[in-house]
Structure 1
């Protein structure tokens, strides 16, 4: 029950009941509601500024985690760029130089992407600039990896060819030092053993007892194993590929046949004195692109420096050849 209020009327010298008008009541009610609303709004506003809701806290943690991951991603990209730069440097200045391949220009390695805007869908966000720059770096990095991968595929192919070339080039003596009696004659002008006239001796003569093994000096395919070439007697020719052919003459007998594949160090025949020969020995020649060349430069696979110098000294003597 609401309290009844009175006021003192001085004219009538009596107390009279205070009657509240409806308009006044409505006014007070409106003011109360308005004040409450304003107070509530002010409270909510202040609370929103200083007090986080559980959802806001969760979103804030997610944002902080995203920023951390973004920072880690940029660091990883920087590390990848450094590693890729080192690989590119070795690729250009070591691998491609060794295998005689042209270096890849920096413009090709680090080229961007022209034409249409690839990142339009990333525009309009708070961190658009940062996101676009990171995407650009990632795209360029991926492109550089593709370029480098293709380059390394090429280098692997060149290395395989180089390995085959190194295995094919004649690189050892046809007769081992242990079996040699002496190195009788080298490449150059020598006296003919039959006519005593000086003429060009196109190979090297390795003196050894009859039946001494003769070795293939490089990988290849036996091109000939016969005695139909004038003066050579029983002889073998091996096609090593890459323009190289080796010849072994005056053999006692063969240990291979025509079209047979051989490896460096395989026994292909035995020392003899067939054909135009004065004594048992292996006459050895090397052809490059159809031209005879000095075999002295092709013994790096079996001789020490001292042995090579001694061989070079004997090969340089203008003595008499054995064929």
Structure 2
């Protein structure tokens, strides 16, 4: 029951009843409704913030599932990426170095790589599924690119390995005559006394003294590019091209067992020692040339002698003795 309100009238000196108008009732009702609306809106905001709706809860659960799946995929791709890095480093630091191939810059190998975005960040941008798929596809694309580069590199390494095997078989690597006791080396590479003029002159090979008819062997795989019979200079001599810039020359021979154009193997007999051309005694003058320049053949006896025997050869080759012949 509503309370009846009174006020004191000073003119009549008595209490008079307060009369409420319809306008006052309207204003009071509007004020009450306004306050209720404000309180209702505030409670709604609080509820929405701390008590998500069923649809929001469903979307949050879906995002969580997406995030867990993406995290798992990220972990797997990270493992693959780490493995790829190990393979790339091993390829650059071992395989390509051993086989003489230029390393591939890691910037080239790994260009365009990058991580994926967080799904909750993408949720705020309104692109959960689309961007997550795009970022994963981009990372997979980068991994495929790295794998393609690595495959190309391994193809090159395999080719180099075959070439390396052929090169090792082709390079001069044994003595051209049988010399187990290391006593047949008569004159080494360098300035030596000329056998005729008796003055020091550059000797571009080494001399092996032996009886006429002693077998001469090819020191590496190759092709005979010259088999010339001459009465001066090198005398009867053979030149073998071993590819990769290497050639060997065998001079002062008495017999040829091969002809021009013939392919020979390391250790194959190509002829016999003689005393032809500018020679003062039966011997073999042997030269190794790399890129058309004579080099010391003593450095290429690596296959058929021990370190101790090699030391003996080095000592004998260093003696400034008289050469047994001279070149053209």
TM-score normalized by structure 1? 0.69
- Match of residue 260 from structure 1: 262
The separation in 1 between residues aligned to 2:133 and 2:321, in whole angstroms, is 81
Work out which of the residue numbers 214, 217, 224 in structure 2 matches 1:215.
217
Work out which of the residue numbers 143, 159, 167 in structure 2 matches 1:165.
167
- Match of residue 98 from structure 2: 98
The separation in 1 between residues aligned to 2:188 and 2:244, in whole angstroms, is 25
State which drifts further: 308-317 or 236-245.
236-245
How do 1:129-140 and structure 2 match up within 5 A? 129-140=131-142
Work out which of the residue numbers 316, 320, 323 in structure 2 matches 1:321.
323
What SS is found at the alignment partner of 2:250?
strand
- Match of residue 276 from structure 1: 278
Change (3 A) 1:229 1:273: closer
- Match of residue 146 from structure 1: 148
Q: Which runs of 5+ in 2 are unaligned?
A: 1-53, 55-60, 115-124
User: 2:185–2:209: 8 Å Cα contact kept in structure 1?
Assistant: yes
Q: Which runs of 5+ in 1 are unaligned?
A: 1-48, 50-59, 115-122
- Match of residue 245 from structure 2: 243
- Match of residue 83 from structure 1: 83
What SS is found at the alignment partner of 2:180?
helix
User: 1:179–1:212: 8 Å Cα contact kept in structure 2?
Assistant: no
Change (3 A) 1:291 1:302: same
Deviation, structure 1 residue 168 = 2.1
User: 1:179–1:208: 8 Å Cα contact kept in structure 2?
Assistant: no
User: 2:186–2:323: 8 Å Cα contact kept in structure 1?
Assistant: yes
Deviation, structure 1 residue 101 = 3.2
TM-score normalized by structure 2? 0.68
Q: RMSD across aligned C-alpha pairs, in angstroms?
A: 2.9
User: 1:181–1:208: 8 Å Cα contact kept in structure 2?
Assistant: no
The separation in 1 between residues aligned to 2:96 and 2:165, in whole angstroms, is 15
User: 1:175–1:215: 8 Å Cα contact kept in structure 2?
Assistant: yes
Residues paired across the two proteins, number: 254
What SS is found at the alignment partner of 1:142?
helix
Deviation, structure 1 residue 252 = 2.3
